[in-house]
Each structure stands twice: as C-alpha cells, then as structure tokens.
Structure 1
C-alpha cells in the first residue's frame, strides 16, 4: 500500500495537448491508481505544458518546493514525463526530493542507484590512483607531508560549512511564507505559530513532525539575518 503525503506532476509537450487535455487525463488516472484511488494525501497537482528537453520548468520547480516544504514525495505517471536527462534525475536527489513513477515504481531508486554506483566507482578509482602515486613517490625517496591521509583542508571545511548554511537558509525561506500566513491570520506568538505549522503537517528544518516555539524563533532569526 502506498502511504504518505504526495504532490503530483503532469506534463504534456505541446500547447494543443495542454488545451485539449489529451494525455493529462491518462496521467491523472495512472497517478490515482498508484495512490489507491487517492485514499492517501495528495496535497496538490501541478500541470505543465513544456518540452521534456527543458529542465527550467516553473510548475516542476513549484512542485519540488511544495515537496520540500511538506516533506512529501513527487509522483508522476511515467518516467519520461519528468525528464529523459539522467543528470536531471540525479539533481532531484541532491534537491532532497524523492519521486516515484507510477508506471515503474522502482525506476526512481534504480536510476539514481546506478548513477550513485558509477560515482562511487569513480571515487574509488581516484582514491586508488592517489594511493599509488603516493606509494611511488615514497619509493623515490620523496618525503610526504605530515598531514594525515583523508584529512579535509581548511578550504574544504569552509565550503562544507557554507553549503550547510545555504541549505538551512533555503529551508527557512521555504517555511517563511507559511509562518507569515499564520501571523497574518492572528497567530502572532511563537507557540501559536508552532501549533499552526504542526496542524498543517509541515516538517521542521531537521525533518521532525513537531514544531516547538524555539524552532520557530530560529527560523525567524535566520530569515531576518539572510535578508538584512
């Protein structure tokens, strides 16, 4: 049984198909069957008329944003409706969004898994080449540095810290519209906002299901600092 929160993405390639609904209804039916007749939560459906060769698609970007906001998965009718570009599919994993194709439920994990295996093999080969080069240098009497193998350089550590900060800032920016809407509705205290976010099922920045006032305060502070 399929469970959880879902966002659906339907796409056709031509304006004529988009205007007539050709192809969209078939995709919608396939998604409905996969979700057991919508017994599970479908947060929203996004429809786009755009070529699969283009990765810059506003509706898909918005669908991914909603998936991240609510901790939902993206469901599509057919794998080729998303993209024929394997690198673009891998980008979804980097974006932190899981997706499933109704016509091939395991294709998502299989596709990304194969790419991950290729990347892992390349990493292993690079590591072996580095070790061989170090061994050859040692044999030639070259004194190697005292830095322990595998230690991260200062630039790498700084880059990692920057990436973590950017990810946290991005997550705060995604949550802020929901917080602003709650504040506009009269929920001005941190406790009230936390309760409102919990009621909407929006995960915390760390992925847990329960918001606390202190977490709301951190998101507000991060959003203020990033905009100042």
Structure 2
C-alpha cells in the first residue's frame, strides 16, 4: 500500500481557526486516497500566504515524506503556490508529490499548470492597479477612505461567498470540473452573483479565491 503525507494550506488565521477551506481540502485528499488504496501517515496544516517562499510546515511535511518514503499529497496544485519557480524548486527536492486536481500530470504539465496559476495572480494584480489608477485619474481620493471602502467591498464579497459555500464547493470540487462548467451549473441552479448577474468563469475563480479553494 502506498504511503502518503498530506499538506493542507489556507491563507488566513481566520480560516485556520474556523476550518473553512481546510475541510474541503481534507475531503478531497480522503477521496483520492480511498480511490487509490493509499495510507495517510501524517497531515500537515499551514496557515500562510501562497506568495511566501518560507513554509516551515511544508518543509516538515517533506521531511516526513523522506523518512517514510511517502508521497506528498495536496488537494489542489495552488495550495502549494501560484508560482512556477516555487513548484520547480519543489520538484528539485526529488520528493514525489501529487495534486488531487491533476493526479496524472507529469513534470511538464505541472510546470504549465503552475504557469497558468502565476499568470492569473499577475492579471489580478494588474487589474487592481489599473482600477486604482483610473479612480485616481477621476479625482477619487485613495487615502484612508479609499482603503476603508476597499476593505468594506472585500468583506462584503467574502460574506457573500461564505453564504453560498455549500453549493459552490459541491460544484467546484467535483471531478473534471472547469471554471466554465461551474459557472454554467450555478446559472442553471438560478444562483445569482453578488451583483445579481449571471456567472462567468472569472467570477467563479474570484469566489474560489475568497473561499480559499
């Protein structure tokens, strides 16, 4: 029987304490192990931003894999990082790892998938900077009031996402799902977006980030 060590990651202390996001990852890993007759030796949970390279809990998980000749299993590739360089460094450790959302991906595919994730992160950052620049050009003051407004909008978006978490997770964590297929199913279920519009792949990705899926 193949031995596994699982690594789960969430980005905020709030999610770490409440279990939000962790339960979904844990369930995904359990389903994968059940389908592959795997034995879970240890579980490691880290509360840290995916943008940070320093991951002491991940290092501990890798050490456990080396000691036990086990495979590192994660629910989704972006639970490691949305960064090509980070994934490349992990490959160089020679510790075998598998992402439940891409279990048959070879080294080339893992590079491609992490490149897409990195591109998405960069696009989000670019759109945010462009929106702030446009607001400033219109004369909007981006000091304390602007920061408060941005915080309020983010909190409202997170609250909305949490309100549809059960329905959203059931679709988002389904096998062979795509962002487009999740959007189509949400529209068929007549679940509106926070703005009351129809879902798109971009909106699905945004809610998934708020829920840390």
Q: TM-score, normalised by structure 1?
A: 0.46
Q: TM-score, normalised by structure 2?
A: 0.49
Q: Which has the higher contact order (CA 8 A, sep 6+)?
A: 2
